[in-house]
Amino acid sequence: MGAMDVWLADAARVRGRRDMERFTRLHPEAVVDFAGNDYLDLSRHPQVVAAACEAMERHGAGARASRVVTGTLQVHARLEQALCQLTGREAALVFSSGYTANLGILGALSSPDTLLVLDAHIHASLIDGARASRSPVATFAHQDLAALDTVLAERTQRRAVVAVESVYSVLGDATDLAAMVEVCRRHDAVLVVDEAHGIGVLGQGRGAVHAAGLADADDVIVTATLSKALGSMGGAVLGSAALRDHLVNAARSFLFDTALAPAPAAAAASACAVIEAEPSRVQRLHDVADLLANELGVARTPGAVQSRPMPSAADAFRVSQQLREAGVLVGCFRPPSVPDGISRLRVTAHSDAAHSDVCRAAQLIRELTSVGAPA
Ligand SMILES: Cc1ncc(COP(=O)(O)O)c(C=O)c1O
């Protein structure tokens, strides 16, 4: 056995001990999907798919270069315009993913004299962005405004940037953005809001920042993924025109990354238009989320993500496998992927889910976890 084999075998043993093996399995087409993030079922919307095909025909399969070399295409400009129209923001800059958008914004705002302050439940991409940045980093207890106030008040750095999610990806809880921005403003801190699970879902699809009346606020920056409610892939940072100019010059994951391919860019722009044209789609998503939470017997979260705590990691894995065998996909989240350490099934609503599928999935989950039907 070579040194590399020993190394990898050691790592596999540790995963095995923690019951933390992950897989990239092919999922059969004929499943009921309550695990994905295609909240508005736009990834297969005819208009969205047609826009992608047309862009691929016209511009080719790839963007061929970074945006600052020859990679900026008409589809990128149209997408940025569509994102601004949907969210009410002045300017947008599109990245190749939500992950690189988050790396880009934190890196571009960082300096040794800027404290980055992260909510303890923040997504891995913002943690990685903070780690890779030139800034010192602090965290505050999840959603704890008093703790945030203390961190900001006691900082020695001139500037501060606070990062939160509008809707948290695993627990599904939402941030009180009005209260959060008030604390930030008290301490001259900029607020970065990751709307990966907010855009297309909250505020009639325009996002939580728009719903909170903060679309015009220069000190509130939005990051987004195009891979969830917009049904495509890619990411974006939305804010002022000056912020966009700064990112074009300072965000390394924008500068040194090939531009988003034409097809997903056109698909996401089309998805923005569909959200504006079909408000009933967002309403249907919320109706499904209401039903799902009710049938699961859990408190309804504000977004699409409903979360069902499980007694143990082994139970979460067992039930998710049994559901899979029955043709129902749900997310299985176990430590270390759960911020509060509690294993859970993550069950996501989507607008076109059939009433009967929601009821069947919830009934199976109840039966497999030996919990009685809701009253
Ligand atoms: C909160 C949050 N931020 C960022 C991302 C990254 O987005 P993308 O998948 O487009 O890289 C995700 C998705 O996994 C997410 O849930």
pLDDT string in tens for the chain (375-residue length): 899 999 999 999 888 877 667 777 777 666 799 999 999 999 999 999 999 999 999 999 999 999 999 889 999 999 999 999 999 999 999 999 999 999 999 999 999 999 999 999 999 999 999 999 999 999 999 999 999 999 999 999 999 999 999 999 989 999 999 999 999 999 999 999 999 999 999 999 999 999 999 999 999 999 999 999 999 999 999 999 999 999 999 999 999 999 999 999 999 999 999 999 999 999 999 999 999 999 999 999 999 999 899 998 889 999 999 999 999 999 999 888 888 888 999 999 999 999 999 999 999 999 998 744 343
| 223 alpha carbon – ligand 1 mean position (Å) | 10
**For atom 8 of ligand 1, which residue has the closest CA?**
98
| 99 alpha carbon – ligand 1 mean position (Å) | 6
Atom of ligand 1 nearest to the CA of 100: 11
Phi, then psi, of 299 in degrees rounded to 5: -70, 135
pLDDT, position 374: 43
Task: Indicate if 207 and 250 belong to the same structural domain.
Answer: yes
Contacts with 338 (C-beta within 8 Å, 6 or more apart), sequence order: 170, 344
| 375 alpha carbon – ligand 1 mean position (Å) | 36
| 169 alpha carbon – ligand 1 mean position (Å) | 8
Task: Output the domain CATH number for residue 318.
Answer: 3.90.1150.10
| 196 alpha carbon – ligand 1 mean position (Å) | 6
Task: Indicate if 189 and 56 belong to the same structural domain.
Answer: yes
Q: How far apart are CA 248 and CA 104, in angstroms?
A: 10
pLDDT, position 43: 98
Atom of ligand 1 nearest to the CA of 168: 1
Domain boundary among 225, 244, 277: 277
For ligand 1, residues with CB inside 6 Å are 97-99, 102, 123, 125, 165, 169, 194, 196, 225, 227, 235
Task: Indicate if 263 and 172 belong to the same structural domain.
Answer: yes
What's the first-to-final CA gap in the chain, in angstroms? 58
Task: Indicate if 65 and 141 belong to the same structural domain.
Answer: yes
What is the sign of the dihedral through the CA atoms of 34, 37, 39 and 40?
negative
Atom of ligand 1 nearest to the CA of 227: 10
Long-range contacts of 205-209 (CB under 8 A, 24+ apart): 205/40, 205/86, 205/229, 205/275, 205/276, 205/279, 205/281, 205/282, 206/86, 206/87, 206/88, 207/86, 207/87, 207/166, 208/166, 208/167, 208/174, 208/175, 208/177, 209/87, 209/166, 209/177
**For atom 10 of ligand 1, which residue has the closest CA?**
98
| 98 alpha carbon – ligand 1 mean position (Å) | 5
Long-range contacts of 48-53 (CB under 8 A, 24+ apart): 48/231, 48/232, 48/267, 48/270, 48/271, 48/274, 49/267, 50/270, 51/266, 51/267, 51/269, 51/270, 52/232, 52/263, 52/264, 52/266, 52/267, 52/270, 53/263
**For atom 16 of ligand 1, which residue has the closest CA?**
169
pLDDT, position 337: 80
Per the CB < 8 A criterion, the answer to whether 160 and 183 are in contact is no
Task: Indicate if 286 and 346 belong to the same structural domain.
Answer: yes
Any domain includes 150: yes
pLDDT, position 247: 98
pLDDT, position 30: 64
Task: Indicate if 150 and 211 belong to the same structural domain.
Answer: yes
Task: Indicate if 297 and 266 belong to the same structural domain.
Answer: no
Task: Indicate if 132 and 178 belong to the same structural domain.
Answer: yes
Find, among 273, 245, 265, the residue nearest to 95 by Cα. Answer: 265
| 30 alpha carbon – ligand 1 mean position (Å) | 26
Domain boundary among 246, 277, 308: 277
Atom of ligand 1 nearest to the CA of 226: 10
Q: How far apart are CA 166 and CA 202, in angstroms?
A: 9
Task: Indicate if 341 and 204 belong to the same structural domain.
Answer: no
**For atom 9 of ligand 1, which residue has the closest CA?**
98
Show the domain range for 221.
46-277
Work out how many domains the chain is built from and give that number.
Answer: 2
Any domain includes 316: yes
**Cα–chain center distance at 308:** 19
Any domain includes 50: yes
Any domain includes 7: no
Q: Which of 227, 232, 238, 305 to mutate to test the pocket of ligand 1 (most atoms within 8 A of CB)?
A: 227
Domain boundary among 277, 309, 327: 277
Task: Output the domain CATH number for residue 90.
Answer: 3.40.640.10
Give the gyration radius of the chain's Cα atoms: 21
